[in-house]
Amino acid sequence: NAMTFHTSKISRLLPLTGAIAAAVLLSACGSMMSSPAKSMYSQDSLPDSIKVPAGNKVAMETVGVGEITYECRDKANMPGQTEWVFVGPKAVLNDRSGKQVGTYYGPPATWESSDGSKLTATQLAVAPSGTGNLPFQLVKANPAMGSGAMTGVTFIQRVALKGGVAPAAACTTANKGERQIVKYQADYIFWKAAYTTHTRSPAQRGLPPGGGGFAATMRSLFSRGPAACTPCPTPLAILTTKPLWP
């Protein structure tokens, strides 16, 4: 009868769905094992004052290559004394493959993406990075102008510095107003909020660690072992449980 036919059909489907589930799980594991390890940026070795707070993630890594202009000027509130004063930077921003993705210039210090979006920032901290090098720097990004790669940037770190300090040449009243250009290089690491109202964390969405989706559900189930569920759901039940794709 119809009931017998329906039950028979379901029983034939169970091995198939189980095989599909196993294949998907093995495929996911295989791809993770075979994928070469990608070098991830880490701020662990940086001074604490330069570290970006939790709740943010790296959005873009760039290498700034360019120059900084200094001018010989009077020292503030010190009549008759002079010093080299930072005027502004001019650099190209390249990605890790060497392709230009933006520019950095000032004043005011401005980071501009090749897509036209740009931003300025407020300095939060600096820390020594070695003799002859500009200091490490952490800035808090102001709201971006335009829509693009700079949209949503929260912090920018200046790290991996080479050169850029004031000229060694004399700065006196005799050459006051003279400008000199110094070459430099630095990595600019752009950070954005890890989760926004549009990309909430798995916990915020009521999902297991690792997020939702079929593969995540299977990982969560199998990682906990047989004791995780009594009785454990069949592959068909897992496939039909909602929501699997939030």
Statement: residue 131 has pLDDT above 50: yes
Instruction: Report the DSSP beta bridge partners of residue 164.
Output: 133
Which run of H or E residues covers position 50? none
Residues with Cβ within 8 Å of 207's Cβ and at least 6 positions away in sequence, in order, are: 216, 246
Q: Which is higher by pLDDT, 84 or 240?
A: 84
User: In sequence order, which residues have a C-beta less than 8 Å from that of residue 51 and are 6 or more positions away?
Assistant: 43, 138
In the chain, where does DSSP find H-type helix?
2-34, 214-224, 235-240
Question: Is residue 168 over pLDDT 90?
Answer: yes
Per-residue confidence (pLDDT) for residue 92, from 0 to 100: 98
Position 31 scores a pLDDT of: 42
Confidence grade of residue 1 (pLDDT, cut at 50, 70, 90): low
Per-residue pLDDT reduced to its tens digit, 184-242: 999 999 999 997 655 555 555 555 555 555 555 555 555 555 444 555 555 444 444 44
Residue 33: the pLDDT is 39
Task: Give yes or no for residue 10 having a pLDDT over 60.
Answer: no
Confidence category of residue 147, pLDDT binned at 50, 70, 90: very high
How many Å apart are CA 102 and CA 112, to the nearest integer? 5
The runs of H, that is alpha helices, within 109-232 are 214-224
More confident of the two residues 126 and 200: 126
What local confidence, expressed as pLDDT, does residue 195 receive? 77
Rounded distance between C-alpha atoms, residue 170 and residue 70, angstroms = 12
CA distance 87 to 180: 10
Q: What is the pLDDT of residue 220?
A: 55
Rounded to the nearest integer, the mean pLDDT of the chain is 79
